A = this chain, B = another copy of it.
Amino acid sequence: MNRSPIGIFDSGIGGLTVTKEIVRQLPYESIIYLGDTARVPYGTRSKEVVASFAKDLANFLLKRNVKALVVACNTISSVALEEIEKMSPVPVIGVVKPLAKKAVNQTRNKKIGVIGTNGTINSGAYEKEIKNIDPEIEIISVGCPLFVPLAEEGLYSHKATKLIAEDYLHNIILAGVDTLILGCTHYPLLKDAIAQILGSGVALIDSAEPTTEELKKILAENDLFAEKNVPTREFFVTDAPERVYQVAGRFFGSEIKDKIKKISLT
């Protein structure tokens, strides 16, 4: 048993969609969330810069004696997970491996689509994980760089979002996939728009549930559950303009405005 908090980090506030599920399934666990809102987004940056920023975030949480690190960001999990694992004395859980595994279990026709930031897609991380489990699966990957700003601006059902999504998803539809990986923690907010275009024959799966399952497995294996603990929940960001307060609640599923604290990493 261990009552230390679980550290969760992301390039911004997208990781709150994963945090919401962790808190739901593990109500006794204390958590510390850290979002790098001063330098978000990571999905357009080089691997080197993402790795360097991600290490700053991990360091902040490790100094606070977290018992595990959840990398609640597809871009960081895709391009810098190894580097985080190397520096961390505690278990590290990324979102890519659990999500890839779930998609492989889900598909019937062995055709999986992956959408994400350009950083995630260009890394080929999902292809690698899926092919490791089943080399016969066909994979089609598409970078959707405008989905993050559209989600952050709240244009979930705007006609412009639909038009852009139709462009992005065109080749996914042509490929006839039956499973689509939402490979970015912002995308659950656009799930309805994406589902409308793809129809009910395509299962949409996101990071929240499989990552939480993986976290539970790791906690069990290492005897790290907090059990009947009175949990603390802290939310840190590196910049807190009004917009972060406005949007955070939407991503976490309930208001956390008063709990968000601004910190500096330097």
| A residues in contact (CB < 8 Å) with B | 37-39, 44-46, 48-49, 118-119, 145-146, 149-150, 153, 155, 158-161, 163-164, 238-241, 243
Contacts and interface: CB of A to CB of B under 8 A. Distances in A.
Contacts of A161: 160
B159 A49 contact: no
A14 to B, nearest CB: 14
Given A145-B149, A149-B145, A239 B160 contact: no
B146 A153 contact: yes
Contacts of A46: 239-241
B239 A45 contact: yes
Contacts of A118: 243
A23 to B, nearest CB: 26
A160 B149 contact: no
A38 B119 CA distance: 13
A44 B243 contact: yes
Given A153-B145, A160-B163, A164-B160, A45 B38 contact: yes
